[in-house]
Amino acid sequence: MPNLLLLRHLQSQWNLENRFTGWTDVPLCQEGIDSAKKTAESLAGFKIDKVYTSPLIRNKETVSLILKELGKSNLPMVVNKALDERNYGQLQGLNKDEVKKQFGQEKVHLWRRSWDETPPGGESLKDVSERTIPFYIKYIENDLKEGKNILVVASHNSLRTIIKHIEKISNKDIINIEVAYGELRVYEFDKSLKRIILNNH
């Protein structure tokens, strides 16, 4: 029975600085790099046949560090923009606390976590889902059906859309789903891709 391993990238420099990152290509911070070994330990017990990630450097750096720690640097890998973070539009590069002062904490929370609220000039989670889920169904689900164990290393909101899809979370309740830096979610499926087990690591 195949496993799907969802891993959020390690902490980036702008995560550390509490800035909206979105599509801005920001590398990992030193704290993120230093956490790779511990994060890799959470994956050590799993067989991985293939890796999916996005072109954003924080995602690719995370993959490189994790696979090096696991001694699995030669695994097949697919890199696709469908798995990029949401575009935060005019908020990208701004300090999150300053934005909350300007627009209000409740409004900013809706931009960041709700289903269809769109930050100025950016993407809603629904918009993100319209690129991630067709990709997930076409490629990742197909690999799972073939019995492959898949690791997806991606950004917060692209992962939230996949979690919503798998767990059938409502548009209303998705606001409560968050994934920490380096957090691993493990799903086990049967042959019909019915989810059997969910483990958070």
Active site (catalytic) residues: 9, 85
Contact, 104 vs 35, CB < 8 A? no
Closest CA to 22 of 95, 91, 117, 103: 91
- Alpha-carbon distance of 56 to 154, in angstroms, equals 9
Using a 10 angstrom Cβ sphere, with 0-12 exposed, 13-18 middle and 19 or more buried, the burial of residue 126 is middle
- Alpha-carbon distance of 75 to 71, in angstroms, equals 10
Contact, 8 vs 154, CB < 8 A? yes
